[in-house]
Amino acid sequence: MKRLSLIFIALGSPALAATDKPFFSLANTDFVVFISFLIFIGILVYFKVPGIIAGLLDKRAEGIRSELDEAKALREEAQTILASYERKQKEVQEQSERIVAQAKEDAELAAEQAKADLEKTIARRLQSAEEQIESAQDAAIKEVRNSAIAVSVEAAKGVIAKQISAAKANNLIDDAIETVDAKLH
């Protein structure tokens, strides 16, 4: 089949259109080139160059196919890793949001506790101040009473001294001594 196609190619060549020289003559350069070309093609076919070239092309195609498959696998692996990192980033983001929320909650609880402690401290200090004021009032009342008693005694002494005579005062003193002596013995 190949030989037949080669003959048709040879017959259809423009060299057949030349009229001054016969085609099948060695003087015709087109015929010589045609024969050389056929010999060259024959040598290539004999040494199986088209098969070798086809094998090399197939081998190259297989290499490219394997590189594409490897690239596809690497791309899928990269996408998997990217998805994993995005998932981890999302988890870390959620965890950080939980930590911030917990920190805010803890800060609010600490503020409430500090407020309660401050209220207790203020209440204790108010009570202590009230107790100090009450104590100072009691001391002032006692001092005023003592002063009033002293003034009253002095005033009574003055009044009694004017109203009682010396003999009567001596009788009262003697009566007081006897009363004390009777009570002590």
Instruction: Render pLDDT for 27-80 as a digit per residue (tens, 0 to 9).
Output: 888 889 999 999 999 999 999 999 999 999 999 999 999 999 999 999 999 999
Closest CA to 20 of 30, 8, 12, 9: 30
Whether residue 88 sits in one domain with residue 19: yes
| Model confidence, pTM | 0.40
> Are residues 152 and 77 located together in one domain of the fold?
no
- Judge contact between 37 and 30, C-beta under 8 A: no
For position 165, what pLDDT does the model report? 72
Residues 7-27, mean pLDDT to the nearest whole number: 62
Cβ contacts of residue 105 below 8 Å, gap of 6+? none
> In this predicted model, which residue has the larger pLDDT, 3 or 124?
124
Higher pLDDT, 130 or 17: 130
Say yes or no: 49 and 131 in one domain.
yes
> Stretch 92-105: mean pLDDT, rounded?
94
Q: Are 56 and 122 members of one domain?
A: yes
Residues 12 and 39 in one domain: yes
| Residue 120: both structure tokens together | 């207790």
Same domain flag for 74 and 26? yes
DSSP state at residue 25: S
| 133 and 78 part of one domain | yes
Does the pLDDT value for residue 108 go beyond 90?
A: yes
Specify whether 9 is located in the same domain as 32: yes
Domain span including residue 126: 2-137
Q: Which residue has the higher pLDDT, 164 or 70?
A: 70
